[in-house]
Amino acid sequence: MQSKVGFWLLTMVLLNTAPLAQAQQVKKVARLGYSAGTSPGENNEEAFRQGLRELGYVEGRNIVIEWRFAQGKPDQVPKNSAELVRLKVDVIVTGGAADTRAAKEATTTIPIVMTNESDPVGTGLVASLARPGGNITGLASLSAELRGKLLELLKETLPRLSHVVALYGPGTQSSAVKETEVVARSLGLKLQSQVVKELDDLNRAFEAISKARTGPLIVVGGLFATAQRKPIVQFAAKSRLPAIYYRREFVEDGGLMSYDANRNDLARRAAVFVDKILKGAKPADLPVEQPTKFEMIINLKAAKQIGLTIPPNVLVRADKVIK
């Protein structure tokens, strides 16, 4: 009799505690915000998703992502950040420099993970790469060093090169212009800078470049330039100007060549930061990382269109050649 009573008591205890055990096993579904100034498909979102999947996160199962794209409209960037803050997401992932700055202005408490910031220390986003402080960490793209590499590649492609025109978008810091000028001088190049402040200035910049006839074109970073890449590429082709760009999308749209950090790799690695933060790490204690992979793209169709032969020593180093 006692054994039967004991059996039923044990059964009742197990039945009553089972829901509690199941509830303890249920994990909170993480909610991310992803803010990009570009359009969908232009900011390596699939690589970011892949990074999450590799860490065991599946959208709709244990993670939800609120995607926000400004589609090249600078005024929309801060609105997207503000909306993600109102949604009280657990982490905000930013696709570019403008997105990171907008997110910083929108919140000082929600962790922010950068996927592509050229100079986070110089712009005041973090205190240092080793100890970011605050609520921001992630990946820096080393754009200052990349600008130097763009000029080096342009000179290797055109050994007799003496003059270069640099086209900058709105919001370009004067330090970035000066750094590019320093590198140009070290390579024996004379640099003419054209800083575009708004859309109407782009055509005026084109006219100034055409009248000056000083030489090839280097197009450096910025949301504006990325959004306006098709008219920029078309201008270079029409003017028969050799041009080098800071993103592969320019070359895929008909530009001559590009050199950049591998943005797919940066986006994939951003998922690691998200994972650490969701597991309790503080952004202030997570060192900002730098690119480890780079890529050069060359468009031989564009070269043929302007009558340019790419030297074999440059062509052989390309990660992708468009024929």
**The two three-digit tokens of residue 174, written as one number:** 């004067």
Phi-psi region of 310 (alpha: psi -120 to 50; beta: other; left: phi over 0): beta
Identify the pLDDT of residue 119. Answer: 81
Identity of residue 161 = L
Q: How confident is the model at residue 144, as a pLDDT?
A: 66
What is the per-residue pLDDT for 5? 47
- Say if residue 233's pLDDT is above 90: yes
Query: What pLDDT is recorded for position 65?
Result: 97
CA distance 240 to 303: 9
pLDDT digits (tens, 9 = 90+) for 262-294: 999 999 999 999 999 999 999 999 999 999 999
CA-based R_g, the chain, Å: 25
Residue 212 in this model has a pLDDT that exceeds 70: yes
For 25-51, the DSSP string reads HPPPPEEEEEEESS-TTSS-HHHHHHH
Buried b (16+ CB within 10 A) or exposed e, 254-276: bbbbbbbbbbbbbbbbbbbbbbb
Per-residue pLDDT at 4: 52
CB-based contacts of 193-196 (< 8 A; 24+ apart in sequence) = 193/165, 193/166, 193/168, 194/165, 194/166, 194/167, 194/168, 195/168, 196/167, 196/168, 196/169, 196/170, 196/224, 196/225
Q: Please tell me which residue, 8 or 222, carries the higher pLDDT value.
A: 222
Report d(CA 222, CA 203) in Å as an integer: 17
Q: Stretch 236-241: mean pLDDT, rounded? A: 94
Can you tell me the distance from the alpha carbon of 48 to that of 133, in angstroms, rounded to the nearest whole number?
24
The residue to which tokens 């749209």 are assigned: 253
66 φ/ψ angles, rounded to the nearest 5 degrees: -90, 105
The full set of domains in the chain, from first to last, is 30-142+262-293 (3.40.50.2300), 143-261+295-322 (3.40.50.2300)
The residue with greater pLDDT, 19 or 140, is 140
Which residues have CB under 8 Å from 186's CB, separation 6+?
none
pLDDT digits (tens, 9 = 90+) for 46-101: 999 999 999 999 999 999 999 999 998 889 999 999 999 999 999 999 998 889 99
Q: Which of 89-103, 156-170, 256-270 comes out lowest in average pLDDT? A: 156-170
Q: Both tokens of residue 186?
A: 């070290």
Full-model pTM = 0.82
Residue 116 confidence class, pLDDT cut points 50, 70, 90:
confident
CB-CB neighbours of 113 under 10 Å: 28
pLDDT category, 171, cuts 50, 70, 90?
low
For residue 236, the one-letter residue type is: A
What pLDDT is attached to residue 280? 96
**Cα–Cα–Cα angle for 198, 201, 204, nearest 5°?**
175
Q: What is the pLDDT of residues 11-40, one digit of tens each?
A: 454 445 544 443 333 358 999 999 999 889
Specify whether the CB–CB gap between 104 and 136 falls below 8 A. Answer: yes
pLDDT digits (tens, 9 = 90+) for 172-204: 667 678 888 888 999 999 999 888 877 778 889
Q: pLDDT above 70 covers what percent of the chain?
A: 89
Give residue 26's pLDDT: 37
